[in-house]
């Protein structure tokens, strides 16, 4: 479960993990074989933007249509899920390298108390899903004039 909190991600550990994975993949010559028999585990990259009025989530889901994506809200948990199908059409093709992930995904986000859950909106454009989560009026920042 992902919390909507501001923090600096530890990119060094992720980069090290990717390098180790690449070394093993190169050594063992691993790919998924392109047979589509196994569903890849993947998670769309997500940016979270906070403004005075709202939170905006931007999820990268290229190659999908909006009908392939589901957004659900239960209590304060926002869940985005979907499935990206493999584009493989010719069984005689042999994939040499497969880097794009296919299969099911889901991301969950715990929303803060001070959001207007009834006014959440979503849009999809050029492979980017944008979910706008407005803050309640009580929680928005406002300037106080000094008398």
Q: What is the pLDDT of residue 137?
A: 80
Q: What is the pLDDT of residue 4?
A: 62
Read off the pLDDT of residues 35-56 as tens digits, 9 standing for 90 and up: 443 444 688 999 999 998 999 9
Residue appearing with tokens 């009026």:
137
CA atoms within 13 A of residue 145's CA, in its CB half-sphere: 1
Domain architecture of the chain: domains with CATH: 36-85+95-139 (2.60.40.790)
* Token code pair at residue 38: 């196994």
Question: Model pTM?
Answer: 0.66
Does pLDDT of 101 surpass 50?
Answer: yes
Q: What is the pLDDT of residue 11?
A: 60
Does pLDDT of 147 surpass 60?
Answer: yes
List, in order, residues 6 or more apart from 64 with CB less than 8 Å away. 82, 84, 127
Q: What is the pLDDT of residue 71?
A: 97
Q: Cα angle vertex 80, ends 32, 70, to 5°? A: 95
Residue appearing with tokens 């998670």:
43
**Helix ranges restricted to H, 10-143:** 11-28
Burial class (CB in 10 A: 0-12, 13-18, 19+), 93: exposed
Question: Chain centroid to CA 71: how far?
Answer: 12
CB 125 within 8 A of CB 147: no
């Amino acid at each position: 479960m992902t919390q909507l909190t501001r923090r600096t991600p530890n990119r060094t550990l992720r980069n090290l993990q990717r390098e180790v994975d690449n070394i093993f993949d190169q050594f063992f010559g691993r790919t998924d074989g392109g047979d589509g028999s196994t569903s890849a585990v993947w998670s769309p990259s997500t940016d979270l933007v906070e403004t005075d009025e709202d939170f905006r989530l931007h999820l990268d889901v290229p190659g999908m249509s909006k009908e392939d994506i589901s957004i659900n809200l239960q209590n304060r948990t926002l869940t985005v899920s979907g499935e990206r199908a493999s584009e493989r059409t010719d069984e005689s093709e042999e994939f040499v390298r497969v880097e794009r992930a296919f299969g099911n995904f889901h991301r969950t986000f715990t929303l803060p108390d001070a959001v207007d859950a009834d006014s959440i909106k979503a849009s999809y454009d050029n492979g980017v899903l944008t979910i706008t989560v407005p803050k309640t009026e009580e929680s928005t920042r406002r300037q106080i004039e000094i008398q």
